Structure 1
Amino acid sequence: MKTYWTIEEVAQELGVTTRTIRNYLKSGELSGTKIGGQWRFTVENIRKLVGANSPLISFSENKVIDNNYQEVIMAFNLPIKSEKEGSDYRNLLLEQYNEVYSGENRNFYYEIVSPELIRIILSGSAKYVLNFGTWIEQKLY
C-alpha cells in the first residue's frame, strides 16, 4: 500500500486542481511533509482534509430542534463498473437532492471508495433520509 502521495496525486484523487491543494496547504486545511523540497501527504493528512465535514461529525454535532425531530444517518455502498458510471450516479443523486428536498437538516455525502465502489451517506430527518433512501433503491436497483 502506498504511504505518501504528491500534490498532483491528491489533486487528481479529489478531482481538484493542484492550485486548490496548494491553497489548502497555505490555509492550514491540509497538512503534509516536505521531503526533498516536495510536499508529501499521508492517508491521515488527506482524511483530515476531507473528513472535516465528515457525516458522522456533522451528525453527532446536530442539536435536537424540538421533541418531534428525529435525526438519522444511512450509508450504503454502490458497486460501479466504471468511473463514468460512478459519476453518472453522483450526478443523478445530486440532481434529485437539489430539486426535490429542501431544508437545513439534510446532508448528502458522496465518496469514491475504490474504482469499483462508491459510498452514499445521507443524514437528516428520518422522513427525509428514509424517503430519499427509498428513491435511490427504486432508481438504481
Structure 2
Amino acid sequence: MENYYSVNEVADMLDVTTRSIRNYIKSGKLIGLKIGGKWYFSTDNILDFIAGHQLVFFMDKNDSAINKSPYTLRFNLYFEHVSSIQTFKDNILDYHQDVYANDQDRLFYYQIYKEKHAELLLSGSFDYVINFGKWINHLLQQQTDIYEVTYTDD
C-alpha cells in the first residue's frame, strides 16, 4: 500500500506553511484525497505538484531548440529531501536569471523524473554549457543530500 502524507507532513517536506498547502489545493495545483474532512497526498501527488510548480519557466527537453544546440550537458541527480532539491533548483535558477536570462541561445531544463531523482539539462554554446556546468558542479559539491548518479530509463 502506498504511503499517504498529511497537510502538515507535506508542508514540512516542501518547507512551506500549511496555509500554502491549502492554497495549492484550492487553486488545483496540488491534488490529493480528502478523507473524513482531512487531506492526504501520495508520493506521486507530491512529485506531480513539484514538477508542475517549477516547470513553468523551463522548456520541454524534446524541444527542437535543445536538440539542435551544439552542446548539451545533463546532470542526473538523486536527492534525499524534497526541500533540498527545491533549494538547489532555486539557487541555480536565480544564478541563471542573473547571468544568462537575456541570452536567446542558452537553454536550461529541470525536471523531477521519479521519486528522489531529478534531471538538469543545459544546452547551448560551448562556453555557456561549460561555464554554467562548472558553476552547477561546484554548487553540487557543497550539497550533503544531493548526488550525481548514473540513471537509466527503465
Query: What TM-score results when the alignment is normalised by the length of structure 1?
Result: 0.62
Is 2:6–2:40's contact at 8 Å kept on the other side of the alignment? Answer: yes
Query: Unaligned 5+ residue runs, structure 2?
Result: 143-154
Indicate the residue corresponding to 2:30 in structure 1: 30
Q: Deviations over 1:71-121 (max 9, x none)?
A: 7351144889xx99x96x67765564344333354336497x87xxx9672
Query: In the superposition, relative to structure 1, how do residues 9 and 131 fare at CA in structure 2: closer, same or farther (>3 Å)?
Result: same
Deviation at 1:46, TM superposition (A): 0.9
CA distance in 2, matches of 1:119, 1:22: 26
Identity of aligned residues (%): 31
CA distance in 2, matches of 1:19, 1:71: 43
Query: Unaligned 5+ residue runs, structure 1?
Result: none
Indicate the residue corresponding to 1:121 in structure 2: 120
Is 1:55–1:109's contact at 8 Å kept on the other side of the alignment? Answer: no
Indicate the residue corresponding to 2:100 in structure 1: 101
CA distance in 2, matches of 1:99, 1:4: 38
The residue type equivalent to 1:101 in the other structure is Y
Deviation at 1:30, TM superposition (A): 1.1
Query: What TM-score results when the alignment is normalised by the length of structure 2?
Result: 0.58
- Over the aligned positions, Cα root-mean-square deviation in angstroms equals 4.2
